[in-house]
Amino acid sequence: SALPCSAATSMIPPPSAARSASSVTAHGLRRTLATISAVAIGDWPSAVDNSLLRELVPDESGKPPQLSREVRGAHYVSVRPSVPAPAPRLVAYSSEVASSLGLSAETCESDEFLQFFAGKVPEAVPCWATSYGASFAGRYGGQRGDGRAISVGQVNGLEVQLKGAGTTPFSRRFDGRAVLRSSVREFLASEAMHHLGVPTTRALAVVASG
């Protein structure tokens, strides 16, 4: 559910506000960790291989990227994180997911990592939100999309997103935020599902926005 404060009015969230800093989508790929090169946050722009941006159709309407609307004739919209994080704090991270991205424990515990996954993404890093369709009771339910998740790159075949990073055209007038309790629950549930052998997205980290 949405927080009772809006990114559009630049209101600072209460301490309970947080974003699930990185939801990592694994597209059925299995990699040996020993074959994965180390990635530094400063090298992120050169480490990513954004095949989605090469293969899908971008929105070129010229409309504001945070404006709630139906996106026509495009698969994704370029949009950047917009939720302020005045005092970000690392709540937890998964060392296993970090390893799959080439991120060391030292990197994950650095201020550079914290600032990046709190939404302060360098301009050199492309960011986007993707549209998709919905089905309700066997009927097409209209366009949906990443309403509070913003992708920040594909690394080692995994798509990395900031969830709760702000509004996108698919936010349907909600504020694009995520609360701490829900983010922690999603973090724990996704790891449990993975280790039970259930295909799922996985959370790299939970970062409180402050």
- Its pTM stands at 0.80
Which amino acid appears at position 36 of this protein? I
Q: Rounded distance, CA 156 to CA 145, Å?
A: 24
Which helix (H) or strand (E) is 113 found in, with range? helix 111-117
User: pLDDT tens across 148-199, in order?
Assistant: 999 999 999 899 999 999 999 999 888 889 999 999 999 999 999 999 999 9
pLDDT, residue 160, reads 95
Q: Rounded distance, CA 65 to CA 74, Å?
A: 13
CA separation, residue 158 to residues 26, 30, 114 (Å) = 5, 10, 20
Give the chain's length.
Answer: 210
Residue 42 clears pLDDT 90, i.e. is over it? no
Residue 2 clears pLDDT 70, i.e. is over it? no
Do residues 176 and 147 touch, judged by C-beta distance below 8 A? yes
pLDDT, residue 22, reads 46
Do residues 59 and 71 touch, judged by C-beta distance below 8 A? yes
Which token pair is 167?
Answer: 């509004």
Average pLDDT, the chain: 83
Q: What is the CA radius of gyration of the chain?
A: 17
- Going by C-alpha positions, the residue among 151, 147, 154 that lies closest to residue 175 is 147
pLDDT, residue 139, reads 86
User: pLDDT tens across 8-37, in order?
Assistant: 222 233 334 444 444 444 433 344 344 456
Q: Rounded distance, CA 185 to CA 174, Å?
A: 21
User: pLDDT tens across 65-124, in order?
Assistant: 999 999 999 999 999 999 999 999 999 999 999 999 999 999 999 999 999 999 999 999
Which amino acid appears at position 152 of this protein? V
1 or 208, which is more confident: 208
